Amino acid sequence: MVDRGRIAALSAFADLPAEELDELAGAMSEIEVDAGARVVTVDDYGTAIYFVEDGLADVLDDGPATTTALGSGDTFGEIGLLLTGQRTATVVARTPMRLLSLSGQDFERIREQVPEAERTLRRLGVERAGR
């Protein structure tokens, strides 16, 4: 279980009700990632959403060029998990990272208890997919 305060500190979840923060806290896990590690790969099956607590990552589209940088408070993986089923980009850690992860299986288990969180993540995914 992850401390609720860590989840409330994430920009995507700053305004969630306490009950939803508690549900998310019980379902999330912490992951440490080494610099240079590939966290997700384009076209892979989307099995989790990730929230950056610490560190930096590069988002790569189809080519080797970096299109976006991710840092503390950022979210990725929501498009593959909630919208398309597949990853739409590759994310590579630029520095060592600490991530919070919510697996698709755990998300399905708590989905009915976190309607605001789901709306927030879907909105974020739709905005990104439209870019």
Fold topology of 4-129: Jelly Rolls (2.60.120)
**What does the pLDDT read at residue 83?**
77
Domain ranges of the chain: 4-129
- pLDDT, residue 78, reads 85
Please give the angle made by the CA atoms of 22, 47 and 28, to the nearest 5 degrees: 20
Torsions phi, psi for 112 (to 5 deg): -65, -25
Per-residue pLDDT of the chain (131 residues; tens, 9 = 90+): 789 999 999 888 888 999 999 999 999 999 999 999 999 888 887 789 999 999 999 988 766 565 788 999 898 888 877 777 778 788 999 999 999 999 999 999 999 999 999 899 888 888 877 76
**Backbone φ, ψ for residue 13 (5° rounding):** -115, 10
Sole residue written with tokens 């927030």? 120
* Res 81: pLDDT: 79
CA angle 76, 82, 88 (to 5 degrees): 50
Instruction: Tell me which H or E stretch contains 125.
Output: helix 115-129
